[in-house]
Amino acid sequence: MLYLWLKAGHVIFVIFWMAGLFMLPRFFVYHQEAPEGSPENAVWVDRERKLMKIIMWPALLVVWVLGLLLAVDIGAFQQGWFHLKLAFVLVLTAYHFWLANYAQLLASGVRKLSGKKLRMLNEIPGIAAAVIVIMVIVKPF
């Protein structure tokens, strides 16, 4: 029964984390359109900070803890599908850290990427999620 509760918690926090991974780059697009130093700019800085602090960082931590507990419980480290899943989770984790860094850059007034590039980067979590779900559900190898 513990396994099912761990699994349910893992899926719930993956949903929270993924929502943030989709939402934050969209925030960046709108943030970059706000004039530097404007009240609107300050609102976007605050929104991004709250999204990271209240939702994304806690969700990332819980996803990893519950995911590793599940992996140990089912012996996933010896299964091929899990290695690819783990690789994509590592990619999403690196993306999360990159987003956190870009939020800090935007907060300090540095705007390195165009809205178009940010929109394209927003495809990363969708592609990774598709691969992860296929690995977990289908277990092709």
Q: Measure the CA–CA gap between 36 and 15, rounded to whole angstroms.
A: 33
**85 annotated binding-site participant:** yes
Mean pLDDT of 37-53: 97
Kindly state the tokens that stand for 63. Answer: 């996803």
Q: Which residues contact 4 (CB under 8 A, 6 or more apart)?
A: none
DSSP 11-65: HHHHHHHHHHHHHHHHHHHHHHHSPTTSHHHHHHHHHHHHIIIIIIHHHHHHHHH
The total number of structural domains in the chain stands at: 1
How open is the CA angle 20-22-28, to the nearest 5 degrees? 90
In this prediction, residue 74 carries a pLDDT of 96
Question: Is 53 labelled a binding residue?
Answer: no
pLDDT reported for residue 41: 96
The residue-averaged pLDDT of 65-86 equals 97
Per-residue pLDDT tens digits for 81-122: 999 999 999 999 999 999 999 999 999 999 999 999 999 999
Q: Which domain covers residue 48, as residue numbers?
A: 2-138
Q: What is the pLDDT of residue 4?
A: 97
Q: Greatest CA span in the chain, whole angstroms?
A: 53
C-alpha to C-alpha distance for 104 and 122, rounded to whole angstroms = 18
